[in-house]
Amino acid sequence: MAQEYEVLIIGGGTAGIMTAAQLLKKKKFNSIAIIEPADTHYYQPAWTLVGAGTFDYKKTGKPMAEVMPQGVQWIKDRATSFEPENNIVNTASSGPITYKYLVVATGLVMAPELIEGLSEALDKGVVCSNYTDPNHTCDVIKNFKGGNALFTQPTTPIKCGGAPQKIAYMASDYFRKQGVLDKTNVIFATPGSVIFGVKPIRDTLMKVIGRYGINFKPFYAPIKIDAANKVAYFKHVAPDENQCVLNEDNKIGEECIEGNVIKIPFDMLHLAPPQAAPKFIRESALSNDGGWLDVDHHSLQHNKYKNYEKYFF
């Protein structure tokens, strides 16, 4: 017989835990459960601080049992598929679980295979990422002695859109304190058109970029990492651009090559890997053609399977 809950949450990360806690406060539901297989809950926003050498990685994790809200049933298992027409979530070992309302808070999974060469390079040598191994990032930054310090992000959605640039600023400050910033070219390359979409914040960040002399490269989408030769390749994605346009004062050694591709040598590289929804979501009836949950961007309510009431959120 299937387990039954009024509210079923998939994911015991920060989103799932906070949602459960807020729903408990409303006292509108008789039963709430969270499906989460992990023993440890990590507060991932702090990993930027770990990579910058200002926080202990061990302090970002707590036993899952300690953060699970009292009054919530923890199902220590992994969700494997959905049957939304029947309000069922199937699990790896606990069987089918039924719900009245479903909250999907699984987060994203790393997909480094979407950039050529990244899977082989990630978290080795001078290629690092706070998203996967912030301790390695810390080591790379501390061992850096000058040259091109390249920071970038992919074209896919990512956890915390600001994190790839935050580590660039914190690394620049570390380089300044260590006396190596004056022999360093800090480069922040992004597929986006601006450093941040909200103008007051953007204006402030551009001042930070100027303060550290960071080379800001908009419309740069990473497509290949050649770790052996320490070269990153980017597609120039500006609209209506037919050729690469480089500054005359090209201190960083970037080079335009065929097909509107730019290559930049690096002495260290930090990047956010491409990211995707978990496979069981991408392959489910809940996803859209792009492999993401098909929800209304304003309410986060699913466009087909409503399971929603005004008091829910």
User: Does the pLDDT of residue 310 top 50, yes or no?
Assistant: no
> Domains of the chain: which residue ranges?
3-107+277-282, 110-271
For residue 287, pLDDT over 50 is answered with: yes
pLDDT digits (tens, 9 = 90+) for 207-245: 999 999 999 999 999 999 999 999 999 999 988 766 677
Identify the residue with better confidence: 143 or 310: 143
Average pLDDT taken over every residue of the chain:
94
Residue 66 has a pLDDT of 97
pLDDT digits (tens, 9 = 90+) for 90-121: 999 999 999 999 999 999 999 999 999 999 99
Residue 64, pLDDT > 60, answer: yes
| Sequence-separated (6 or more) residues with CB below 8 Å from residue 310 | none
Asked if CATH classification 3.50.50.60 holds for the domain at 3-107+277-282, the reply, yes or no, is yes
The CATH number of domain 110-271, selected from 3.40.50.2000, 3.40.50.720, 3.50.50.60, 3.40.50.300: 3.50.50.60
**Can 3-107+277-282 and 110-271 be said to share one CATH topology?**
yes
Residue 242: predicted pLDDT: 62
> pLDDT at position 1, please?
63
pLDDT surpassing 50 at residue 313: no
Is 309's pLDDT higher than 50? Answer: no
Write down the pLDDT at residue 312: 41
Distance (Å, whole) CA 127 – CA 124: 6
Tens of pLDDT, residues 32-44: 999 999 999 999 9
